[in-house]
């Protein structure tokens, strides 16, 4: 695969359209389609398909999207770091799981960055399985997502927030009339956000526990897009309970009953344990578990552009 192919694929992922990707890259639509076709043939994977709610990714397609944006974003990250240093500003690089980045990070970053006028925050979506390696290589300053199975002494960890994942479906979906067994759940179409492609986390754990095969999984550009498809009765989706509570109350979604349709989980902040960790990272780790921060995360307030400068990793949803 070539950088040109990855750039075309990344643009399609980010914009959700070959036409828009071609316009942004100043090339023809046929050129973008050619690059995507070459990637599909070389990797032996369809990568994505089109649905009414946008692009639905295969697990392999989402992994490629993450890797492509990571490679192509290195130059942008370097420019941002050099520019911030030249202007006498501090840069805090936050790596986060996709579920946290989409639902909780905007409110947290808005509140935290507003406390310091000289602070720029860069948020990137990362696989929680890579958190320790990213911190050790100083690629990120703090990582927030699922807790590590075992905390290495080289890292400092702090609980941030407990949350609950529930399985929901549209009111017209046949499964809502049942108390579905694990086998019945396993056979449904599952509408998933990017968190499903991670190696660890509440959503991957739920899918593994139920034994949902990859052929029954459709992965969308965001968890919100998966929820919208579920409202149309096109499948089941695991979602944050506080995020879908209004939809459950108004009847546009139904929460499925049973312990197998719910997962209790938590988010955890990791930093380096030594003094090399930036003070802003240690402060964010402490601040994230305060009542004010938790309220901001659950409220989901949008981040102000002046303080929130997402890297290309975040653009899996637009």
Q: Which residues contact 240 (CB under 8 A, 6 or more apart)?
A: 99, 103, 163, 164, 165, 223
Helix or strand (DSSP H, E) at 84: helix 59-86
* Main-chain phi, psi angles of 187, to 5 degrees: -85, -5
pLDDT of 301 over the 50 cut? no
Residue 104 falls in which region: left (phi positive, over 0), alpha (psi -120 to 50) or beta: alpha
DSSP E strands, 71-139: 90-96, 119-125
Between 3-15 and 59-86, two packed helices, what is the crossing angle to 10 degrees? 100
Query: Which of helix, strand or coil describes residue 135?
Result: helix
Alpha-carbon gap, residue 143 to 101, rounded angstroms: 11
Q: Would you state the torsion angle of the CA atoms of residues 163, 223, 104, 145, taken in this order, to the nearest 10 degrees?
A: 70
> Tokens 């049973």 — which residue?
258
Q: Which CATH architecture has domain 89-310?
A: 3-Layer(aba) Sandwich (3.40)
What is the mean pLDDT of the segment spanning 7-25? 87
Residue with tokens 């696989």, as numbered in its chain: 127
Q: What is the mean pLDDT of residues 234-253?
A: 94
> What pLDDT does 78 receive?
63
* Model confidence band, residue 60 (pLDDT cutoffs 50, 70, 90): confident
Phi and psi torsions of 223, nearest 5°: -65, -35
**Yes or no: is domain 3-65 CATH 1.10.260.40?**
no
Give, for 56, the enclosing helix (H) or strand (E). strand 54-57
In this prediction, residues 37-63 reach a mean pLDDT of 86
* Nearest CA-CA partner of 135 in 151, 149, 120: 151
- Whether 260 has a pLDDT exceeding 70, the answer reads yes
Per-residue confidence (pLDDT) for residue 150, from 0 to 100: 87
Residue scoring higher pLDDT (279 or 146): 146
Three-state DSSP string of 287-315 = HCCCHHHHHHHHHCCCCCCCCECCCHHHH
Q: Residue 252: pLDDT above 50?
A: yes
Separation between Cα atoms, residue 247 and residue 173, nearest integer Å: 15
Domain ranges in the chain are 3-65, 89-310
Whether pLDDT at 312 is above 50: no
pTM to 2 decimals? 0.68
- Say whether 118 sits in a helix, a strand or coil: coil
Percent of the chain with pLDDT over 90: 44
With tokens 């139920």, the residue in question is 210
Domains 3-65 and 89-310 share a fold: no
Does residue 81 contact residue 91 with C-beta atoms inside 8 Å? Answer: yes
Q: What is the average pLDDT score of the chain?
A: 84
């Amino acid at each position: 695969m070539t950088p040109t192919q990855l750039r075309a694929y990344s643009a399609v992922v980010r914009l959700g359209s070959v036409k828009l990707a071609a316009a942004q890259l100043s090339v023809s639509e046929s050129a973008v389609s050619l690059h995507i076709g070459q990637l599909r043939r070389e990797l032996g994977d369809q990568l994505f398909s089109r649905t009414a709610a946008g692009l639905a990714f295969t697990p392999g397609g989402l992994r490629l999207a993450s890797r492509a944006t990571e490679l192509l974003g290195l130059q942008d990250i370097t420019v941002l770091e050099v520019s911030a240093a030249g202007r006498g500003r501090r840069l805090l690089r936050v790596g986060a799981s996709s579920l946290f980045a989409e639902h909780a990070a905007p409110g947290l970053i808005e509140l935290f960055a507003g406390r310091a006028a000289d602070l720029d925050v860069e948020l990137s979506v990362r696989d929680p399985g890579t958190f320790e390696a990213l911190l050790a290589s100083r690629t990120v300053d703090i990582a927030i997502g699922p807790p590590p199975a075992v905390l290495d002494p080289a890292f400092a960890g702090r609980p941030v927030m407990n949350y609950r994942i529930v399985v929901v479906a549209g009111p017209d979906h046949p499964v809502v009339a049942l108390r579905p067994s694990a086998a019945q759940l396993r056979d449904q179409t599952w509408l998933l956000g990017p968190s499903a492609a991670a190696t660890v986390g509440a959503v991957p754990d739920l899918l593994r526990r139920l034994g949902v095969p990859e052929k029954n999984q459709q992965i969308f550009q965001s968890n919100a897009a998966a929820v919208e498809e579920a409202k149309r009765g096109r499948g089941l989706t695991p979602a944050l309970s506080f995020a879908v509570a209004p939809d459950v109350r108004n009847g546009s979604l139904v929460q499925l009953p049973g312990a197998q349709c719910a997962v209790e989980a938590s988010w955890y902040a990791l930093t380096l344990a030594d003094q090399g960790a930036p003070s802003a990272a240690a402060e964010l780790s402490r601040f994230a578990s305060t009542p004010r921060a938790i309220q901001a995360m659950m409220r989901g307030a949008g981040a102000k552009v002046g303080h929130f400068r997402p890297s290309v990793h975040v653009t899996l949803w637009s």
